[in-house]
C-alpha cells in the first residue's frame, strides 16, 4: 500500500527556504500584471492629456501676464505724456507765441486778449496771466488776465485785461532780481494771497548780454486746485478710456507727489498697495528739455510719479490666482481618474485572480478526487478478482476503501457546504452541546488517518466545560478541517497538540502544529475562498482552498470567531472561540440559524 500524500488545505504557505519573495510574488501574479498593464494603457494617454492641459495653463498665465504688463505700461506711458503735454502747453501757446509774433513791443492788447482767453480755456489750471513791459520811460503798467476775465464776453473796443499795482510790486521786482541770472525761464513756488502757488515767467532782456529785464509774460496756478481738481479729472478721463481686463482685478492709476502722497480721485485713495509700473515727471510748465534754462529752482524741483497697480497683488500672483481654480480642478480630476483607474484595475485584477483561483480549484479538486478514487478502484479490483488470500489483508483493504470513501465524502461535503454558506442557505441547528465530547468524537473518527500517517495527537480537554449552543455536525467539520490542515502543513514533524478549555466568556478549541508556519502578511488571506499559496511541499496541487474558509464561516454562523497565531518556521495555532450563553439553556431547547444570519462583528476579534 502506497502511503497517502499529504495534501494542504486552505491557507497553505511556503517554507522559508523555498518561499518566493514578495517582489517575485507580485511579478508573477497574473492579476497584478493585468492590473499594471491596464493602468499603463489608461495612464499614458491621460498623462499626455494632463501634460498638455497643464502646459496650456502655463501658456495662459504667461499670456495673461504679458497682457496685464502691457496694459499697465501703456497706460502709465500715455498718462505721463498727457500730463507733460498739458503742463507745457501754456508756455508754448501763451508765453512764446506772442514773442515769436512780435506782439509785445508795443503790446497788442486786442490780439493778446483773444489768445489769453483761448489759452485759459485750453489750460484750466491757469489762474492768472500777466503781461508787463517798459513803456519808454512812462509809468509801467502790469496787466492781469484772470480766469474770471476769460469767462466774460469781450466788448467792442474793450479788453478783458485789468491793471494790478499789487502784482507789479510782487512780481516785477522779483523778476528783476532773478534776471541777474540771465535766464529766460523762471519757475518758482510762492505764497500769494495766502495760498501756495506755482509761478512761471518768460523774461525779456535789453541788449544781447541780457543786462536788464525789460518785459515779462507769466502765469500763476493754484497748487491745491492742480492737485485736487485738474489731475484727478485727467486720471478719471484716462481710466475711462482704458480697456479693463476681464476676469482680473481692474487696473488702478494714480499720482504720487514729491512726498509720495497719492492724489485722491473723488476723495477716494487708491486701493493698490503694490504698483506695477512707475513713471516720473518734473512738475514744470515747459518742456523738460529746457530745464537747464530755468532759474533758480531747477535743482529742487518737485518730481511727481505716475503709478499703476492691480490692487494688493503682483501680476504673477494675479495670474496664478486666475488659473488656480482650473489647476485645482485638474488636480481633483486627476485624483478622481487615478482613483477610478485604481479601482477598475483592482477589480479587474481581482477577477483575474479569482479566475486563476477557480482554475487551480478545479485542478486541486480533480487531484483530490482522482487519488482516492484510484485507490478505491485498485483495492476493489484486487478484492473482486480474489487475489487476496489472507483475511487480515482483505480486512485492511476494506478499511482503506472505507477511509478513502469517507475522504471523498468530506471533500464533496466541503464544496456543497461552502456553496450553501455563500448563498446563506446553510442551516445551523443549534443545541446546547459539550465541545469536549464533540472533540473526542472527531479524534475517534480520524484515528485511522492519524495511524496511517503516523501522527501523534496530544489532546488536553478540560472537564466540566460550559455547554454552548452549536450545530454539532458543523463544529465537528470545522475541527476536522483544522486537524487535516495541521497534518498537511506539519512537514517532517508528526506531533499535533489539541487543547479544549475555557477562556473568559468563550469555550476554545486550539489546534497547534509544529510545521512550516504562516507569514504574517498571509494571515489575512488564508480565510478567503480558493486562496492557496505554494507551500513548497511536493505532491502536486495542494488542497482546494475551502477548508479554512468553511471554518471561518462556520464560526461566524455561531457568533464566534477563529484566531490564528503563527510565523514562518515555528508552526501554527488555530483557535476556535465559541461564545458561552449568558443564561443556562434547557437541554431540549433547539434553535435554528442560517449561515447568512450572523453579523460580521467577529472580524474585529480575529487576529490577522
CATH number of the domain within which 435 lies: 3.30.565.10
The reported pLDDT for the residue numbered 78 is 94
In the predicted structure, residue 1 carries a pLDDT above the cut 50: no
For residues 530 and 549, what is the distance between their CA atoms, to the nearest angstrom? 8
- Looking at the fold, whether 278 and 415 belong to one and the same domain comes out as no
The reported pLDDT for the residue numbered 123 is 92
- Looking at the fold, whether 497 and 601 belong to one and the same domain comes out as yes
Q: What is the mean pLDDT of the chain?
A: 80
- 75 Cβ contact list (under 8 Å, min separation 6): 238, 242, 251, 253, 277, 308
- Looking at the fold, whether 394 and 254 belong to one and the same domain comes out as no
The SS3 call for residue 136 is coil
- Looking at the fold, whether 208 and 292 belong to one and the same domain comes out as yes
- Looking at the fold, whether 234 and 288 belong to one and the same domain comes out as yes
The reported pLDDT for the residue numbered 60 is 87
- Looking at the fold, whether 309 and 350 belong to one and the same domain comes out as no
Of 290, 313, 336, the domain-final residue:
313
The reported pLDDT for the residue numbered 543 is 57
Does residue 164 belong to any structural domain of this protein? yes
**Residues 214-253 as b or e (16 or more Cβ within 10 Å = b):** bbbbbbbbbbeebbeebbbebbeebbeebeebeebbebbb
Calculate ∠ Cα 36-41-44, nearest 5°.
Answer: 110
Write out pLDDT tens, residues 438-468.
Answer: 999 999 888 878 887 889 999 999 998 999 9
In the predicted structure, residue 176 carries a pLDDT above the cut 80: yes
Which position has the higher pLDDT, 26 or 142?
142
In the predicted structure, residue 362 carries a pLDDT above the cut 50: yes
The reported pLDDT for the residue numbered 207 is 80
The reported pLDDT for the residue numbered 541 is 41
The reported pLDDT for the residue numbered 600 is 38
- Looking at the fold, whether 476 and 592 belong to one and the same domain comes out as yes
- Helices and strands (H and E) in the chain: how many: 15, 18
- Looking at the fold, whether 89 and 216 belong to one and the same domain comes out as yes
Does residue 353 belong to any structural domain of this protein? yes
Does residue 337 belong to any structural domain of this protein? no
Does residue 173 belong to any structural domain of this protein? yes
Which position has the higher pLDDT, 375 or 457?
457
Looking at residues 600-604, what average pLDDT do you find?
A: 36
- Looking at the fold, whether 235 and 372 belong to one and the same domain comes out as no
In the predicted structure, residue 599 carries a pLDDT above the cut 50: no
Of 313, 335, 363, the domain-final residue:
313
In the predicted structure, residue 299 carries a pLDDT above the cut 60: no
What nine digits make up the cell of 502? 475555557
Range in 256-260, 311-315, 515-519, 593-597 the model is least confident about: 593-597
- Looking at the fold, whether 201 and 155 belong to one and the same domain comes out as yes
The reported pLDDT for the residue numbered 539 is 46
- Look up the domain containing 121 and give its range: 64-313
Does residue 340 belong to any structural domain of this protein? no
Band (pLDDT 50/70/90 cuts) for residue 41 is: confident
Does residue 53 belong to any structural domain of this protein? no
Q: How many domains, the chain?
A: 2
In the predicted structure, residue 584 carries a pLDDT above the cut 70: no
Does residue 491 belong to any structural domain of this protein? yes
Looking at residues 498-504, what average pLDDT do you find?
A: 92
| pTM of the predicted structure, to 2 decimals | 0.55
For the sheet with 572-579, list strands across it: 456-461, 495-503, 506-513, 572-579, 561-566
Of 289, 313, 337, the domain-final residue:
313
Cβ contact 77:253 at 8 Å: no
- Looking at the fold, whether 401 and 305 belong to one and the same domain comes out as no
- Looking at the fold, whether 450 and 559 belong to one and the same domain comes out as yes
Query: What percent of the chain has a predicted confidence (pLDDT) above 70?
Result: 81
Does residue 565 belong to any structural domain of this protein? yes
Cβ contact 208:172 at 8 Å: no
Amino acid at each position: 500500500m502506497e502511503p497517502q500524500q499529504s495534501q494542504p488545505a486552505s491557507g497553505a504557505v511556503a517554507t522559508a527556504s523555498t518561499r518566493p519573495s514578495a517582489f517575485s510574488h507580485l511579478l508573477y501574479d497574473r492579476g497584478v500584471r493585468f492590473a499594471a498593464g491596464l493602468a499603463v494603457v489608461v495612464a499614458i494617454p491621460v498623462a499626455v492629456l494632463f501634460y498638455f492641459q497643464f502646459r496650456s495653463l502655463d501658456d495662459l498665465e504667461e499670456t495673461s501676464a504679458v497682457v496685464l504688463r502691457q496694459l499697465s505700461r501703456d497706460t502709465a506711458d500715455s498718462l505721463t505724456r498727457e500730463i507733460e503735454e498739458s503742463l507745457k502747453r501754456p508756455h508754448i501757446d501763451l508765453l512764446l507765441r506772442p514773442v515769436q509774433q512780435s506782439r509785445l513791443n508795443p503790446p497788442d492788447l486786442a490780439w493778446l486778449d483773444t489768445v489769453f482767453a483761448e489759452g485759459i480755456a485750453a489750460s484750466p489750471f491757469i489762474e492768472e496771466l500777466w503781461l508787463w513791459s517798459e513803456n519808454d520811460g512812462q509809468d509801467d503798467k502790469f496787466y492781469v488776465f484772470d480766469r474770471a476775465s476769460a469767462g466774460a464776453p469781450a466788448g467792442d473796443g474793450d479788453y478783458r485785461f485789468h491793471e494790478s499795482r499789487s502784482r507789479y510790486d510782487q512780481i516785477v521786482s522779483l523778476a528783476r532780481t532773478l534776471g541777474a541770472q540771465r535766464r529766460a525761464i523762471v519757475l518758482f513756488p510762492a505764497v500769494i494771497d495766502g495760498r501756495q502757488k506755482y509761478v512761471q515767467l518768460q523774461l525779456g532782456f535789453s541788449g544781447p548780454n541780457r543786462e536788464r529785464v525789460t518785459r515779462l509774460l507769466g502765469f500763476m496756478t493754484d497748487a491745491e486746485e492742480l492737485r485736487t481738481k485738474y489731475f484727478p479729472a485727467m486720471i478719471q478721463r484716462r481710466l475711462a478710456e482704458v480697456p479693463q481686463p476681464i476676469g482680473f482685478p481692474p487696473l488702478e492709476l494714480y499720482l504720487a507727489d514729491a512726498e509720495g502722497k497719492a492724489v485722491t480721485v473723488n476723495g477716494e485713495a487708491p486701493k493698490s498697495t503694490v504698483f506695477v509700473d512707475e513713471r516720473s515727471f518734473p512738475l514744470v510748465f515747459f518742456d523738460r528739455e529746457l530745464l537747464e534754462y530755468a532759474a533758480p529752482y531747477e535743482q529742487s524741483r518737485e518730481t511727481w510719479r505716475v503709478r499703476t497697480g492691480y490692487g494688493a497683488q503682483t501680476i504673477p500672483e494675479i495670474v496664478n490666482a486666475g488659473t488656480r481654480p482650473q489647476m485645482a480642478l485638474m488636480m481633483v480630476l486627476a485624483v478622481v481618474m487615478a482613483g477610478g483607474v485604481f479601482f477598475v484595475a483592482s477589480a479587474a485584477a481581482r477577477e483575474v485572480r479569482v479566475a486563476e483561483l477557480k482554475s487551480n480549484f478545479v485542478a486541486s479538486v480533480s487531484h483530490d478526487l482522482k487519488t482516492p478514487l484510484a485507490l478505491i478502484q485498485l483495492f476493489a479490483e484486487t478484492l473482486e478478482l480474489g487475489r487476496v488470500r489472507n483475511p487480515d489483508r482483505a480486512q485492511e483493504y476494506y478499511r482503506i476503501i472505507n477511509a478513502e470513501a469517507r475522504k471523498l465524502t468530506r471533500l464533496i461535503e466541503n464544496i456543497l457546504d461552502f456553496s450553501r454558506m455563500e448563498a446563506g442557505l446553510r442551516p445551523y441547528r443549534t443545541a446546547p452541546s459539550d465541545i469536549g465530547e464533540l472533540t473526542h468524537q472527531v479524534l475517534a473518527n480520524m484515528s485511522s488517518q492519524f495511524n496511517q500517517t503516523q501522527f501523534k495527537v496530544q489532546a488536553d480537554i478540560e472537564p466540566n466545560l460550559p455547554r454552548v449552543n452549536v450545530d454539532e455536525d458543523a463544529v465537528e467539520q470545522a475541527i476536522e478541517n483544522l486537524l487535516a490542515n495541521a497534518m498537511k502543513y506539519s512537514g517532517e514533524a508528526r506531533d499535533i497538540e489539541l487543547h479544549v478549555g475555557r477562556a473568559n466568556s468563550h469555550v476554545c478549541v486550539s489546534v497547534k502544529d509544529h510545521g512550516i508556519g504562516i507569514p504574517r502578511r498571509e494571515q489575512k488571506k488564508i480565510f478567503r475562498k480558493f486562496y492557496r499559496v505554494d507551500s513548497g511541499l511536493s505532491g502536486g496541487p495542494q488542497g482546494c482552498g475551502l477548508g479554512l474558509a468553511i471554518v471561518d464561516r462556520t464560526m461566524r454562523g455561531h457568533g464566534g470567531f477563529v484566531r490564528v497565531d503563527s510565523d514562518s518556521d515555528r508552526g501554527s495555532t488555530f483557535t476556535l472561540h465559541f461564545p458561552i450563553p449568558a443564561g443556562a439553556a434547557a437541554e431540549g431547547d433547539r434553535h435554528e440559524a442560517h449561515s447568512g444570519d450572523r453579523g460580521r462583528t467577529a472580524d474585529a476579534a480575529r487576529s490577522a
